[in-house]
Structure 1
Amino acid sequence: MRHQPAKLDEIDRKLLALLAEDSTQSYADLGEAIHLSAPAVHDRVKRLKRDGVIRATVAKIDGCKVGRTLLAFVLVNTKNLVSTKRLLTLANVPEIEEMHTVAGDSCVLLKVRVRETEGLEELLGKIQDIEGVDGTRSYIVMSTFVERGPDPYL
């Protein structure tokens, strides 16, 4: 299934940018910023949620502050598509924040956050125990310079 962009006007894009910056703003404050009434902003937000443009409203949690100080990206090599799909058995593992199929030398890219190297080693063991996984390569993050979602204007 191909991803189809939603039909967004300039006001939708401004609203998305404001919400991406701080989703706790009231509809009245958002309306003031984009020159709409609070009920009009509410209707737009409902439509953006219904259309899947806004997928969730969440708190961005600092991994270090909750004891998950080690951030890593793990590339996983699998034998075939069936093996790749077996990785979905790990979808509910809380240390795995993101799971993507990718093109290139590897099949799957995982973003993982654990407490320490022992936690990473344990997680890698779970991944490597899945039938059809040929191997993994891990990249431990030293610093994060930029981390953000998509820009609604691009």
Structure 2
Amino acid sequence: MNGASPPRLDETDERLLALLRVDARRPIAQLAKDLDISRGLLYSRLARLEEEGVVDGYTVRLGPAFSGSRVRAHMMIKTLPRCHREVEQALAEIPLVQAVFAISGEYDVIAMLEADDTAQLNDLIDEIGLFEGVERTTTSVILATKLER
């Protein structure tokens, strides 16, 4: 979509996306019924949403029994000037880093971390803090998830 305006979504598209966020494996027949549209129309909407880049893929959402056993944290990272790209690339190489966001403000990056336990999280925090180009970090451990879509 280089320079193009973002796709326009109608109410049915928005409802479809909300249903897929809850359960992307919901059968087509059930989605069509929930949206009160034909299966053919649903297939064409999904194809359009994928073609326009609104839907980029389908993924797994971890169950609460497993994800509740994990230790998750947000790590804010301030990089040295001109080191953003290298730090982002180094973060991308670590499987325990779930997401990396460029941000504005005092810090340059937020990394979403997930570990088996606090010892593994501590080692990960130490490892990232030693990356070439990392000036300073601040980490907040997530105690509870109140809403996640």
8 Å contact from structure 2 (residues 76, 137) kept in 1: yes
Q: Does 1:54 align with 2:91?
A: no
Query: When the two structures are superposed, what TM-score results if normalisation uses the length of structure 1?
Result: 0.83
CA offsets, 1:65-109, max 9 Å, x none?
1686211111111111x3111121221311111111111221111
Counting matched residue pairs gives 147
Q: Which residue of 1 aligns with 2:85?
A: 85
Q: Which residue of 2 aligns with 1:121?
A: 122
Unaligned runs of 5+ in 1: 149-154
8 Å contact from structure 2 (residues 91, 100) kept in 1: no
CA offsets, 1:2-27, max 9 Å, x none?
78431212221222222222222222
> Percent identity of the aligned residues?
26
Cα distance between partner residues in 2 of 1:49 and 1:108:
28
CA RMSD of aligned residues (A): 2.2
Distance 1:34 1:66, change over 3 A: closer
Distance 1:64 1:101, change over 3 A: farther
Amino acid corresponding to residue 48 of structure 1 in structure 2: L
Q: CA deviation at 1:128?
A: 2.3
Q: Which residue of 2 aligns with 1:151?
A: none
